[in-house]
Structure 1
């Protein structure tokens, strides 16, 4: 693999992982509502592992090349984000805790699956892998293209895991002695997820209303 291309990918991937969005909102909410944020972060990373597998297998390009399938994935992702945001809004008052104590929240398995759904069903994640990763793959490198794609995909998974862990730790450290602020941040996280889900849904439904 070309070292310069790899370093360039690391810079771009790190910048994307550090950009606040749905993953950040879910990570912060999990850090404030659950005893351990590890399952939630692992789930988010698991979703990107799924995207990596699809990319290496060549299925990601096939899915994005089928508008009907991509639209259904987008609708499913929008509905899921709105449901997850609504769930966060229903439990935002539980984000009040003190140092060393954890609030009653979803089980580790449920947090993992929710995190995996957040990143795995997100069509923007799929498009990121299809549109960006191939730009950093070199046909002249000694490694086969699928292997390069897999390494780049897993590099993003690692970077995302580190960033999301830092976000969860910082949110918990800074807010664990500020219950009022913790509740406000959790409320904002839920609203962000609902708003982004509604925006995705609107993007898909708007052409239908325009055609009518």
Structure 2
């Protein structure tokens, strides 16, 4: 693999991982409300592992090329973010941050947190587009490693980057805000609002082009 291409990928992928969004909001919420944020971060990473597997298998490009697939993924992702954001907003008033994190010792709760995290990143069409549109630009067809292997290594590198970034985000949220219950509640509310806002934006991105001609000709 070309070292210069790989370093360029690290810069771009690192910048994307450090860009706040739904993943950040979920990481912050996990850091504030849960005993361990590991299941949440693992779930977020699991979604990107799924995207990596699709990329290596060639299914990511196939799905992106099928008319309507990205549209339905956008609607599903938006609906999921709206539900997750609404759940966070509903729970923020009764959340307690001053005396210790919530008990997540039950395996069922940890698994649910993992699945929610995986859904947050895995169903996001932006993640699919990242792997379809961006990762192939850093693959060198003339390298000794086969293209699928290069694609897999780049995809897993991004998974490692987001694991580090999201863990830091969750840990900083816990360390900085855990001793400040009022501030923590405000951040939790903001996280829920961000998720809802992103869900609305995704729906608008999908529905406005469809509805606009009907309104103009109505």
Shared fold per TM-score greater than 0.5: yes
Q: 2:135 aligns with which of 129, 133, 136?
A: 133
- Name structure 1 gaps, 5 residues minimum: none
Instruction: Check whether the contact 1:32–1:95 (CA below 8 A) recurs between aligned residues.
Output: no
Instruction: Check whether the contact 1:81–1:197 (CA below 8 A) recurs between aligned residues.
Output: yes
Shift in Å, 1:104: 4.6
2 CA distance for matches of 1:69 and 1:97?
Answer: 41
Q: For this pair of structures, how many residues does the alignment match?
A: 211
The verdict on how the C-alpha distance between 1:24 and 1:184 changes in structure 2, with shifts beyond 3 A counting, is same
1:173-192 Cα deviation digits (max 9, x unpaired): 00011000000000000000
1 CA distance for matches of 2:94 and 2:58?
Answer: 43
Find the counterpart in structure 2 of residue 209 from structure 1: 211
1:113-132 Cα deviation digits (max 9, x unpaired): 00000000000000001111
1:42-87 Cα deviation digits (max 9, x unpaired): 0000000000000000010011111311111110000000000001
Secondary structure of the structure 2 residue equivalent to 1:85:
helix
1 CA distance for matches of 2:86 and 2:118?
Answer: 17
With normalisation by structure 1, the TM-score equals: 0.96
The verdict on how the C-alpha distance between 1:176 and 1:55 changes in structure 2, with shifts beyond 3 A counting, is same
- Name structure 2 gaps, 5 residues minimum: none
Find the counterpart in structure 2 of residue 48 from structure 1: 48
Structure 1 residue runs of 4+, over 4 Å off?
Answer: none
Find the counterpart in structure 1 of residue 81 from structure 2: 81
Shift in Å, 1:94: 4.2
Secondary structure of the structure 2 residue equivalent to 1:164:
helix
1 CA distance for matches of 2:112 and 2:130?
Answer: 26
Matches within 5 A, 1:169-208: 169-208=171-210
Find the counterpart in structure 1 of residue 68 from structure 2: 68
With normalisation by structure 2, the TM-score equals: 0.94
